[in-house]
Amino acid sequence: MIRMWLISMDSKQLFSIVFLGLFFSCHQENHLVSKRIQGFALGTTYSISFNTENLEETFVEYKVDSLFAVLNQSLSTYIPTSDISKINKGDSLLVVDDHFVAVYNQATEVYNTTDGFFDPTVGALVNAYGFGPGKKLNTVSTQQLDSILQFTGWDKTKLSINNTILKTHPKVYFDFNAIAKGYAVDVLAKCLRHLKVASFLVEIGGEIVAQGKSLKSNSFWKVAIDDPHQGENRTFIQVITLENKALATSGNYRKFSINETTGERWVHSINPKTGKAIPSNILSVSVLAENCMKADAFATALMVMPLQQAKLLIEKQPSLEAYWILSDSLGKVKEVFSSGFLNEN
């Protein structure tokens, strides 16, 4: 499901990721101490584990909170006075900050690379179909769809040389939910590097950047991905090693319907190219990349792109690897990997 996200739970939050080797008391080795801070921000939970000689948790928390405040002011559609909210209301003179520029440029790159399957202007379609936690799927009429498509499409936007945003239709609505969380992870990781932290794992709502090794295991950070068909007892379908990599997962396996004739289980996603909600057997997609913003955006696009087209696309991207979880005709889980995904673990 394409669900653009910044300040509310999105589809990616539905796909649980557990960090292995993180829950331990302070451990010293070569004067390093393993520390962890966690909390609630950007509408979800965050966790930062890091190895340090002298940094205090309270100092890192202060830095993190300051960055969250700046990112919210730039990119949050849930703050009426944020830059993105002002743009959505028609402000064409606002000069956006470097954070907005970075996200806009990455969104444009992924939009072009995926032939429009990643599109941060589909928020009106998402709302029309009723996607989201606790909402009932709606039927959108042809007339409604034609109306919404008039102001949907990333190609209807432009970043000017003066860093103002131009829109060809006044109702074009920006929503960076499917990329901003990954960008926030990158920003926090950059902050830790600036503080001379050599080993850390940053996670916001399941989107991750890892660098260096865990002190407890003396190996690269590992994360476990939940089995989407697990029962009462929690089970994992994969354990992934992150060797100085970013990981983002998009999933909508909890928003599904059952075909009354075949009994097949279908999830539903919006094709931003047509505006139509389509049945899909793709339960989730995880993407490995050099930064989390790119992984976040591609994971969203691969959820709605036809599988064979998506696999060919990833094979042409040397910096990306992907992992799909599908539901077959019997409702059983099937795993599909890009050629280098397992080599990364």
The residue among 77 and 1 whose pLDDT is bigger is 77
Q: What is the pLDDT of residues 207-251, one digit of tens each?
A: 999 999 998 888 999 998 877 766 667 778 889 999 999 999 988
Least confident window among 97-106, 234-243, 284-293:
234-243
Evaluate whether residue 157 is within a structural domain. Answer: yes
Least confident window among 190-199, 251-260, 279-288:
251-260
Residue 2 in this model has a pLDDT that exceeds 50: no
Give the chain's domain count: 1
Residue 98 in this model has a pLDDT that exceeds 70: yes
The pLDDT of residue 73 is: 96
Tell me, what CATH number does 150's domain have? 1.10.3980.10
Evaluate whether residue 261 is within a structural domain. Answer: no
Evaluate whether residue 308 is within a structural domain. Answer: no
Evaluate whether residue 119 is within a structural domain. Answer: yes
The pLDDT of residue 27 is: 45
The pLDDT of residue 90 is: 93
For residue 303, which of 6, 105, 104, 12 has the smallest C-alpha distance?
12
Least confident window among 212-216, 240-244, 281-285, 340-344:
340-344
Residue 24 in this model has a pLDDT that exceeds 80: no
The domain of 172 spans 91-177
The pLDDT of residue 128 is: 83
Q: Which residues contact 118 (CB under 8 A, 6 or more apart)?
A: 107, 110, 111, 178, 272, 297, 298, 300, 301
The pLDDT of residue 342 is: 83
Dihedral angle, C-alpha 38, 41, 42, 48, nearest 10 °: -20
**In the chain, what percentage of residues exceed pLDDT 90?**
62
Q: What is the pLDDT of residues 40-89, one digit of tens each?
A: 888 889 999 999 988 999 999 999 999 999 999 999 988 999 999 999 99
116: left (phi over 0), alpha (psi -120 to 50) or beta: left
> Binning pLDDT at 50, 70 and 90, where does residue 14 land?
very low
Least confident window among 143-147, 163-167, 271-275, 326-330:
326-330
State mean pLDDT over 28-40.
Answer: 81
The pLDDT of residue 9 is: 35
Evaluate whether residue 127 is within a structural domain. Answer: yes
Evaluate whether residue 137 is within a structural domain. Answer: yes
Evaluate whether residue 193 is within a structural domain. Answer: no
- The whole-chain average pLDDT of the chain stands at 85
State mean pLDDT over 175-195.
Answer: 96
State mean pLDDT over 145-154.
Answer: 94
State mean pLDDT over 111-119.
Answer: 97
